[in-house]
């Protein structure tokens, strides 16, 4: 059996991380993987999460099996977080707890394959490295559309032109905020145009929202999703609690379907549950129980998240100021308005390799860097190295 396996090279991101770990230079800098890091280079556990875990340890509840949809209170709170307290759309949403945002994407991929097997899923170019593999693994066709910056938002005309072949029932995957890898988010006008495009072409949006709270705030970052939900009969959403609750390895997320009416919700949920059932049966309880306590201390959570967001945005500003002051090409100033942790440096793969080889600065060959991987003290050195490699 095993000799029939395809021969695979290491995953590009984890392979590069292994290269970073093997690099003996003490001054090396890791801007590769998409996790938040604080000024000491650590990925901290939020205080609100530590407190929740203390409470859970003290009560030591039963570990008996939970329902197939996971923790019902968590599902309800996630739906409110995504759609807004008191939103009329809450009435027509079905949400099920998933194994991280990745699990939500795959569950929705399986759901699309079941409900609309010939659908093409349109993913952004550039895009998240795992989108295409997830939807192809679900047996769906995947094609790309262009995602480029224009003024305060994205170039919608270019995006729509590259969607010329989209057919009714196809799925348009959009990053809800903090686009990975480009940091380019749609403006409010762009979201309105996206909604109009979906309505006109009968295309179903799937919002992947893995960085809610990392752009402008918990409500602000959900504005695009909420706009689509108000404007369209059907919206799919994959959400992750990995970044905004810092629960990365505890694997918590949610798949939400906002349906045309509440009458179809019970059967929609049963289908989602059934897809989970044949895979992992039910999602793990622990992180959902933590999240419920976090939701009950929402002000504290929002304050800790704001500190994270402000650190990343101040690093971004200092980085751009420094690049400007030492004469880096003007194209680097586009990074200023990006949202979230990522940006694509306007450098070629060869220049990214030189950053690694000559300066010990590790980003992806595509130019993607995680701004949160910078420490304020590193910025002059990193900016200087970038100017050197950008020169030839
Ligand atoms: N979507 C995007 C755009 C992401 O960047 C990520 C995480 N890197 C995910 C989904 C998956 O998140 P999770 O770790 O919760 O599976």
Question: What pLDDT band is residue 10 in, cutting at 50, 70 and 90?
Answer: confident
pLDDT in tens, 204-228: 999 999 999 999 999 999 999 999 9
pLDDT, tens only, 38-94? 999 899 999 999 999 999 999 988 999 999 999 999 999 999 999 999 999 999 999
Q: What residues flank ligand 1, with Cβ below 6 Å? A: 34, 100-102, 128, 175, 180, 208, 210, 240, 242, 253
% of the chain beyond a pLDDT of 70: 100
Model pTM above 0.80: yes
Residue 121 backbone class (left: φ over 0; alpha: ψ -120 to 50; beta: rest): beta
Q: Sorting pLDDT into bands at 50, 70 and 90, what band is 383?
A: very high
Q: What is the per-residue pLDDT for 12? A: 77
> CA-to-CA distance for 352 and 344, rounded, in angstroms?
11
Q: What's the 173 CA to ligand 1 centre distance in angstroms?
A: 13
d(CA 101, CA 280): 15
The mean per-residue pLDDT over the stretch 332-345 comes to 96
Ligand 1 centroid distance, CA of 251 (Å): 10
- pLDDT tens figures, 247-273: 999 999 999 999 999 999 999 999 999
How sure is the predictor about 26, in pLDDT bands with cuts at 50, 70 and 90?
A: very high
Q: How confident is the model at residue 345 (pLDDT cuts 50, 70, 90)?
A: very high
Distance 85 CA to ligand 1 centre (A): 25
Query: What confidence tens digit (pLDDT) does each residue in 108-122 have?
Result: 999 999 999 999 999
The DSSP secondary structure of 83-146, one letter per residue, reads H-TT-GGGGGEEEEEESHHHHHHHHHHHHHHHH-TTPEEEEEES--TTHHHHHHHTT-EEEEEE
Q: What is the predicted pLDDT for the residue at 325?
A: 96
Query: Among the atoms of ligand 1, which is closest to the Cα of residue 240?
Result: 15
Instruction: Name the band, by pLDDT with cuts 50, 70 and 90, for residue 9.
Output: confident
Instruction: Assess whether pLDDT exceeds 90 at residue 151.
Output: no
Ligand 1 centre distance from Cα of residue 330 (Å):
31
When the pLDDT of each residue in the chain is averaged and rounded to a whole number, the result is: 96
Nearest CA to ligand 1 atom 4: 210
Beta bridge partners of 145: 124
Work out the average pLDDT over 169-195.
Answer: 98
Instruction: For each of the domains in the chain, give its residue range(s) and CATH number, in order of start.
Output: 2-45+300-390 (3.90.1150.10), 65-296 (3.40.640.10)
């Amino acid at each position: 059996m095993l000799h029939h396996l395809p021969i695979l090279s290491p995953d590009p991101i984890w392979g590069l991380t292994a290269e970073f770990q093997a690099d003996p230079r003490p001054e090396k800098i890791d801007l590769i993987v998409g996790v938040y890091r604080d000024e000491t280079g650590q990925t901290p556990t939020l205080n609100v999460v530590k407190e929740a875990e203390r409470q859970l340890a003290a009560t030591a509840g039963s570990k008996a099996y939970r329902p197939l949809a996971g923790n019902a209170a968590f599902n309800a709170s996630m739906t409110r977080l995504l759609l807004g307290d008191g939103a009329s759309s809450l009435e027509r949403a079905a949400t099920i707890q998933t194994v991280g945002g990745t699990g939500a994407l795959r569950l929705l991929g399986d759901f699309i394959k079941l409900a609309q097997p010939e659908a093409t899923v349109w993913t952004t170019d550039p895009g998240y490295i795992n989108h295409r593999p997830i939807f192809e693994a679900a047996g769906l066709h995947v094609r790309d559309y262009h995602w480029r910056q224009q003024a305060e938002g994205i170039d919608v005309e270019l995006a729509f032109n590259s969607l010329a072949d989209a057919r009714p029932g196809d799925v348009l995957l959009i990053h809800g905020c903090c686009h990975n890898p480009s940091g380019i988010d749609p403006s409010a006008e762009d979201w309105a145009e996206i909604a109009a495009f979906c309505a006109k072409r009968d295309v179903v949006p799937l919002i992947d929202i893995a960085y809610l709270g990392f752009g402008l705030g918990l409500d602000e970052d959900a504005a695009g999703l909420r706009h689509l939900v108000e404007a369209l009969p059907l919206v799919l959403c994959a959400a992750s609690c990995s970044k905004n609750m810092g629960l990365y390895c505890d694997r918590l997320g949610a798949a939400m379907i906002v349906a045309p009416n509440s009458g179809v919700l019970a059967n929609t949920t049963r289908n989602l549950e059934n897809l989970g059932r044949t895979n992992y049966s039910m999602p793990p309880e622990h992180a959902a129980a933590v999240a419920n306590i976090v939701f009950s201390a929402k002000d504290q959570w929002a304050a800790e998240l704001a500190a994270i967001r402000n650190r990343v945005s101040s690093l971004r500003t200092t980085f751009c100021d420094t690049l400007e002051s030492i004469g880096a090409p003007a194209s680097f100033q586009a990074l200023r308005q990006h949202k979230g942790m990522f940006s694509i440096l306007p450098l070629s793969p060869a220049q990214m390799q030189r950053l690694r080889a000559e300066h010990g600065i590790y980003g992806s060959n595509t130019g993607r860097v995680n701004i949160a991987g910078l420490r304020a003290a590193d910025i002059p050195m990193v900016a200087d190295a970038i100017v050197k490699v950008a020169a030839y």
